[in-house]
Amino acid sequence: MRTEYQLWTGQPGDRWSNVGQFDSATAAMAAAGIPNPTSWKSIDDRYIADGGDGSEHGIHPTQVPESDADRISLALDLALGGGGTDGAHHKTWYLDQIVRTLAGDQYETVIAEYRDGEDGPETYEWDEGIAP
């Protein structure tokens, strides 16, 4: 399994947008336009920084499975680790992450097929939730 670093940006209190994934936290910091690591506050294994314009940036390490065994292990970790999280929007995020982990490169196809129901395209909605 390898680690990638997701860069998020948004306004405090609003939904954040995923800017992209990077091979290192340093690369994600540079992509955010804040390359100096001392400008970032470290919280556990995550980083957060003030964008200077009222926005905030966050960097979150993500385990990327490289085998079916990795996918199963990571999905179980997500399922068991997210159960005690407060807020339905955060639990929805864990469910989405589990589906992403298990579906891999087929995630978009799996979700599109889920949304297509007996009433045609977009019969069902899929919510990605909000990262805790």
Is there a single domain that holds both residue 36 and residue 13? yes
| Closest listed residue to residue 74, CA positions, set 99, 93, 106 | 99
Is there a single domain that holds both residue 7 and residue 58? yes
Is there a single domain that holds both residue 37 and residue 58? yes
123 belongs to a structural domain: no
92: its two tokens: 């929805």
Predicted confidence (pLDDT) per residue in 5-26, tens digit: 999 998 877 778 889 999 999 9
102: its two tokens: 């298990």
128: its two tokens: 């990605």
94 belongs to a structural domain: yes
pLDDT at position 131:
78
Q: Which amino acid is it at 126?
A: W
pLDDT at position 70:
95
Domain that holds residue 104: 68-115
The alpha carbon dihedral of 101, 77, 83, 47 has a sign of: negative
Angle, vertex CA 82, rays to CA 77 and CA 106, nearest 5: 60
Measured distance CA(35)–CA(24) in Å, rounded: 12
CB of 29 within 8 A of CB of 47?
yes
Predicted confidence (pLDDT) per residue in 57-114, tens digit: 999 998 889 999 999 999 998 888 876 778 888 888 889 999 999 998 899 999 999 9
Is there a single domain that holds both residue 17 and residue 47? yes
| Closest listed residue to residue 81, CA positions, set 67, 93, 65 | 93
